[in-house]
Structure 1
């Protein structure tokens, strides 16, 4: 299929590579051109502007940072894509942001669905994301070859654009919690005078085990924070989750604490590092 990827940060670039590997005809664009240029070497067409990027697209993926970016790009390009193109909202923009995007889609008469991406940089590059899809079933069927190229599985969250966002916010609340909890447990073990690696050994294979705790815990132990999921990106998502919880009457006690912990790590200079760097918030120099 002819697929345009608008936004080639860590996730968008990985998605583009997976699409190319599976034989799709891929056009990419990024507001910072230097972020898109390397994909030309992998076989993608690198567009100079968003409008040109979507001119021949059958599927347009929005893989951008926040609501403002999605709105800006839609305003630039919505009128230039073929009328039968399917626009796929992949950006984590929260409940209110999604409502804004839906309204814009209606304004421009474009077909919009969701395919939120659960995973980080490496799974995006490997085509092993979990896709959280929402929208009319017949439209999702049309883009199934794209979803299969970038994801190991697709979870249908519902028929309404916004159901995928709801599931993504719930999933990212879990990711934020388990990563911070791993950092806390390692810090407690270290402070009490034992090798913190013993914590990971202790939970290994038990009912409380988590592969994610090992992945992020090993990064924490090594002090290696090469970004798979940037800490400030998850901070943004925690804010969206907190806003949604507050608006629907869900307690934000844990979310408020998570927000503070990730903010502390960011303030210490780890905003662009991997979310594993949240472990630094539990230790004192």
Structure 2
């Protein structure tokens, strides 16, 4: 298949590479061209603008920071009968905006955000939360297989986005709880590193503790997913809950702590920099 990948940041670039390695023809576009140029060594054509990237494409893949960035890309797409795989986390309002635009342009929208960060994206081990028309999902299955280890088919367009919001609610709560617990351990002179090691291997722990815990203890952040985007995802969860008449108790605290760490200059650092929302 011919694939156009629009947005080649931390997630989009490795997804483009894995799709190309699976034997598909890939053209890529990124607003900052320098971020896409390295893809040329993988046989991927780097386009100067979205219009050139999508010429003749069977599937248009968008992976940008938020709904506004996705829509800004998609508004430059020509009308046609291609499939638009929207893979970013854009929230309920965002996917509805995408659906409206897709209908206007004659595109078939596949709402399939992905779970995972930089390393799983590089390894082709993302989780794909796919929703949309069955025929379009069937057509995209080879692409899902190229970028992910697991694909959930969840029903009509919008179901993937809602599932991703729930997934992120759990993940962000886990990260903040870990950050605060490490801060608590340090404050009362408990060996935080030893605690993380025990927790990572405990039935009450989680594998993610072994990934983010050491980074929090060492205050070393190789960005696999920026904290600023974690805050964006927390806001999307809160917006979705409010829309459905549910008052979340944990997520406002998570967002407040993330924003505190961002205000201290850690927005571009990895999600593990949430620790700076709990320590002075």
* Partner Cα distance (2:170, 2:220) in 1: 22
* Partner Cα distance (1:236, 1:53) in 2: 28
Q: 1:251 Cα shift? A: 1.7
1:91 aligns with 2:79: no
Partner of 2:254: 258
Partner of 1:282: 278
Q: 1:165 Cα shift? A: 0.4
Partner of 1:156: 153
Deviations 1:12-39 (A, max 9, x none): 0110111122222110001111111111
TM-score normalised by structure 2 residue count: 0.97
Partner of 1:136: 133
Deviations 1:208-227 (A, max 9, x none): 12001111001111211111
* Partner Cα distance (2:233, 2:78) in 1: 26
Partner of 1:29: 29
Q: 1:205 Cα shift? A: 3.4
* Partner Cα distance (1:131, 1:251) in 2: 28
| SS at structure 2 position matched to 1:4 | strand
Which runs of no fewer than 5 residues in structure 1 stay unpaired? Answer: none
Within a 5 Å distance, the mapping from 1:119-130 to structure 2 comes to 119-130=116-127
Correspondent of 1:100 among 97, 113, 117: 97
- Is the contact made by 1:18 and 1:150 (CA closer than 8 Å) also made in structure 2? yes
* Partner Cα distance (1:6, 1:29) in 2: 5
Partner of 1:55: 55
* Partner Cα distance (2:253, 2:200) in 1: 27
* Partner Cα distance (1:78, 1:11) in 2: 24
Q: 1:268 Cα shift? A: 0.7
1:249 aligns with 2:258: no
Correspondent of 2:169 among 167, 173, 189: 173
| SS at structure 2 position matched to 1:10 | coil
* Partner Cα distance (1:206, 1:12) in 2: 34
| SS at structure 1 position matched to 2:61 | strand
* Partner Cα distance (2:150, 2:90) in 1: 22
* Partner Cα distance (1:222, 1:23) in 2: 41
- Is the contact made by 2:115 and 2:127 (CA closer than 8 Å) also made in structure 1? yes
- Is the contact made by 2:199 and 2:209 (CA closer than 8 Å) also made in structure 1? no
Q: 1:78 Cα shift? A: 3.0
- Is the contact made by 1:185 and 1:199 (CA closer than 8 Å) also made in structure 2? no
* Partner Cα distance (2:140, 2:154) in 1: 15
TM-score normalised by structure 1 residue count: 0.95
Q: 1:203 Cα shift? A: 2.4
Q: 1:84 Cα shift? A: 3.4
Which runs of no fewer than 5 residues in structure 2 stay unpaired? Answer: none
| SS at structure 1 position matched to 2:57 | coil
Between stretches 12-21 and 44-53, larger displacement belongs to: 12-21
